[in-house]
Amino acid sequence: MKPQFLIGAASSGSGKTTFTMGLLRALAHRGMKVQPYKCGPDYIDTQFHSLASGNVSVNLDTWLASERHVRSLYHSYGKDADVCVVEGVMGLYDGYSGMKGSSAAMAALLDIPVILLVNARSTAYSVAPLISGFARFSPDVRIAGVVFNQVSSTSHYEYLKEACRDIGMECLGYIPYTKALKVPSRHLGLAWGAQKRMDAQMNQAAELMEKHVDIDRLLEVCSTAWTARVEKTECQGNMTVAVAKDAAFNFMYRENMAQLNRLGKVIFFSPLKGDALPEADLVYLPGGYPELFAHRLQKQERLMNELKEYAERGGRVLAECGGMIYLSRSLTNRQGDKTYRMSGVLPLDCTMQNARLHLGYRKMDMAGEEWRGHEFHYSDMVCPDACPSVAVLQNAKGMEVKTPIYRYKNVIAGYTHWYWGEKNIMDLWN
């Protein structure tokens, strides 16, 4: 038996991330080994999870990967943990197509119970039909208990507990309205740039959990039989992979990195520090926030020249979003008054000016097979006709999108963060 559960909510904005961070930190303070997971493709919440728990969080996404792979990931990373905690995405039943890809579908796939977080601001007994509907909507989803957020007073909480009693739902506690308890903006790198502030908020949230949430009872009602379904994977090659990793480049799926390790040896380097480019068979430039550090990046001329020389020699490079921006000729800020020099590997110029959010699942056919990923960015590329996209990308519903994928010699770059947890990324160059 092991406590394992998914934290879901009635809607986005209910406080899932704050609650998850506080609970992860509270469990860690108790000396428990916690394995966090994120339902969906988000690579920012996983950084919050890792900071709160002390363990690297894992993405679970049935659109990016097969159900078999997702189940294997869950059991592989959770087998030695004392408790497994999955943070859901959006509302409990919100998926990319109906319920498909939703948090509820994930809980059913993994056969784990759900803790439903309900934003109780400006409501009281009316939560009864809301909770009852969520609990009865799908026979495959078991809601083990409810926690309320944004509770204004103890008398307010009494109304909420009464609602739970009347529908036979276990009430596990609440989070009082606390103005200071707010997750920093998910954009502009605050996942890295405000770690001290985040750490203090996690401790504050953990204190609230211990005081107002019955954590012992939560763990009890969510303890279910652990059935290991672990697929053995071993190192398959002797390649060397160089991976950019620092405050400017840090959007990485954990299982992607595991796959790179299976290719051979992974060496990390920091473009911000101007590290020399390691000798490698593949260079991986992941996404991140190069726009926040453009003034520092443009000073690292040696590394930019080494990247350009490596690419000209036919070296293999995979660059995603922020990594692609670093390979462009220049980056213009949001105000449009400053332009920073980038490495110039690709004949592209990037601008943040008048940019809007581009978001969603993406897929493409390349090298004879389908690749899937996720797009999340605010910048745009000024692309000359000399650098057309080499593949057509589609969204989750199969509709064509304008997101490009570029190739120059053996450099493959684009805005999409690809998931290759059950694929060989080297197949892209076949």
In a domain, 72, yes or no: yes
Task: Please check whether residue 232 lies inside any domain of the structure.
Answer: no
Q: How many distinct structural domains can be found in the chain?
A: 2
Task: List, for residues 234-291, the tens digit of each pLDDT value.
Answer: 667 899 999 999 999 999 999 999 999 999 999 999 999 999 999 999 999 999 999 9
- The mean pLDDT value for 171-191 works out to 73
Last residue of a domain, one of 195, 224, 253: 224
Domain of 198?
Answer: 2-224
User: Is 207 among the domain residues?
Assistant: yes
Is 231 domain-assigned? no
313 and 207, same domain (yes or no): no
Residues annotated as catalytic (active site), given as ranges: 321
Instruction: Read off the pLDDT of each residue in 78-91 and give the average, rounded to a whole number.
Output: 97
Residues 142 and 135: their CA atoms lie apart, in Å, by 7
Q: What CA–CA distance (Å, rounded) separates 114 from 222?
A: 8
415 lies in the same domain as 317: yes
Cα distance between residue 242 and residue 223, in whole Å: 41
Same domain? 303 vs 174: no
pTM, to two decimals: 0.95
In DSSP terms, which residues pair with 38 in a beta bridge?
A: 59, 87
Tell me the C-alpha distance between 1 and 223, whole Å: 6
What is the rounded (10 degree) CA torsion for 12, 18, 19, 22? 170
Domain assignment present for 229: no
Say if residues 247 and 189 touch (Cβ distance below 8 Å): yes
Distances (CA, A) of 360 to 45, 372, 414, 428: 16, 11, 14, 22
Same domain, 200 and 325: no
| pLDDT, the chain, mean | 93
Q: Mean of the pLDDT values across residues 321-331?
A: 97
For residues 181 and 319, membership in a common domain is answered with: no
CA end-to-end distance (rounded Å), the chain: 45
The 10s digit of each residue's pLDDT in 129-163 is 999 999 999 999 999 999 999 999 999 999 999 99
CA distance 311 to 308: 5
CATH code for the domain in which residue 271 is found: 3.40.50.880
Nearest 5°: the CA angle 61, 63, 66 is 80
Measured CA to CA, the distance from residue 116 to residue 132 in angstroms comes to 11
Same domain, 39 and 118: yes
Where a domain ends, among 191, 224, 257? Answer: 224
Distance CA 53, CA 412 (A): 35
Same-domain status, 38 and 83: yes
**Residue 212 belongs to some domain of the structure:** yes
Same domain assignment for residues 107 and 41: yes
Given 161, 190, 224, which residue is the final one in a domain? 224
- Answer whether residue 96 is part of any domain: yes
Same domain, 219 and 269: no
Q: Which residues contact 113 (CB under 8 A, 6 or more apart)?
A: 4, 5, 6, 107, 142, 143, 144, 221, 222, 224
Question: Up-side HSE of residue 66: CA atoms within 13 Å toward CB?
Answer: 6
Are 45 and 193 part of one and the same domain?
A: yes
Decide: helix, strand or coil at residue 228.
coil
Q: Are residues 260 and 173 in the same domain?
A: no
| Same-domain pairing of 380 and 417 | yes
Say what the pLDDT of residue 80 is: 95
Q: 4-47 pLDDT, tens per residue?
A: 999 999 999 899 999 999 999 999 999 999 999 999 999 889 98
Core vs surface per residue 377-402: b (16+ CB within 10 A) or e: bebbbebeeebeeebebbebeeeebe
CATH number at residue 59: 3.40.50.300
Q: How far apart are CA 430 and CA 43, in angstroms?
A: 28
